[in-house]
Amino acid sequence: MTNLIPAKLAESHSNFKALDSTTAIAYVLGQPALAQLFGSSTASELAAEEIGDGNLNLVFRVYILAEPQRSVIVKQALPYVRLVGESWPLTLDRARIEATALAAYQEIIPARVPHLYLYDAEQCLTVMENLRDYVTMRKGLVAGQIYPQVGQHIGEFIAETLFRSSDFFLSPEEKKAKVIQFTNPELCRITEDLIFDEPYRSNVKNNHWNPLIDEVVAQLQSDNNRAVKEGVFWLRLSFMTHAEALIHGDLHTGSIMVTDRDTRVIDPEFAYYGPMGFDLGAIFANLLLNYCSQQYHITETTRRQEFQTYLITTARAVWQTFLTHWQALWDEYARSEWRAGGEAFKTHLAAETLGFAGCKMIRRVVGLAHVADLESISDPQQRAAAETRALIIGQWLVSNYRNLKHYDEFFSMLEQTLLL
């Protein structure tokens, strides 16, 4: 599959046309690679609906009316940020990055991503498996749903994809070629601005927050907030300079599709070679954000405590599964020149995971794109209380992550945040 995706996107997109529900149907019917799914169906026998709820792209579900299980997802990049509009232009090369990352994941751990049917460089789109029986993990968690295996699945996915794309596994030549293939400057710049810069400065047009937390935000952005500012400095430097492995780059709970038994990772258009702790940090941040929100989503005390315990159990399962799979891969495959530093690297990784988790929490309260976990709290005062707690936890993690002395302390340090 990887060989079907060019290293660079064609420079000319003179034939690019944004799809709509009608042209999406015409498109899939014209693709030989989809003939097995749609057979001799005609346009009148198919339906398409635009289901994209993200910030960047068009997403269509195309299916046979009489057999809705015979369906695909068509995801098309637009030449601008959909959330903002044409005033914010955006590279179309992100479609290549996403398709290439999905193809790489499909080779490493196919059970954890949707099947990729095709990538069209000219139209900047991918056609992939429709996960019709799945919901986004974020939506399920907000509703208080329990997914018993998701922690193990995500821990395994992160361990496999990070290790097998790193210098620990690949030859130096292979690794450097992949760094070039996954160079993603425009979307990395979005991350650099939205996560490591704008939340910490006042009078930034992309910053939005609940006015009831003005005082907390002012303290966050104060020049006197030295520990946080210094922590963000080192985390931003790591994000911009540490090409440790192929990271998803946006691995929040909205990019994970779940059922009671299965888990799939989607939307890797922010993928690039960066610090391994970034993906791990994103998962822990989103579990903590949901933890903060449940104080107001679930009003019955016993049930709320049980669900919050489940969230922490899931976080623990992610970390423990990650460590177990990482160690097994290290023992079998790590190149000899790296062996002496394995334990020290795990401590480095654990510390940066905590720091990145803090940054991800902060940007979801103060920034351009918030999360439904907090935004769906209808009472503004209650939402402000949950957001304040999230900011307190986020700042503590950013200020203290470098104090981690050994990776075995990771979870005890994470759990300290629940007492803040």
Residues of the chain with pLDDT under 70: 1-14, 54-55, 83, 85
Query: What are 258-305's pLDDT values in tens digits?
Result: 999 999 999 999 999 999 999 999 999 999 999 999 999 999 999 999
pTM of the model: 0.94
Please give the Cα distance from 414 to 34 (Å, whole number).
46
Query: What are 297-317's pLDDT values in tens digits?
Result: 999 999 999 999 999 999 999
pLDDT at residue number 203: 85
pLDDT at residue number 54: 62
pLDDT at residue number 267: 94
CA angle at 284 for the pair 267 and 107, rounded to the nearest 5°: 40
Q: Which two tokens stand for residue 9?
A: 């996107």
Please give the Cα distance from 285 to 82 (Å, whole number).
25
The answer to whether residues 88 and 60 touch, using CB atoms and an 8 Å cutoff, is: no
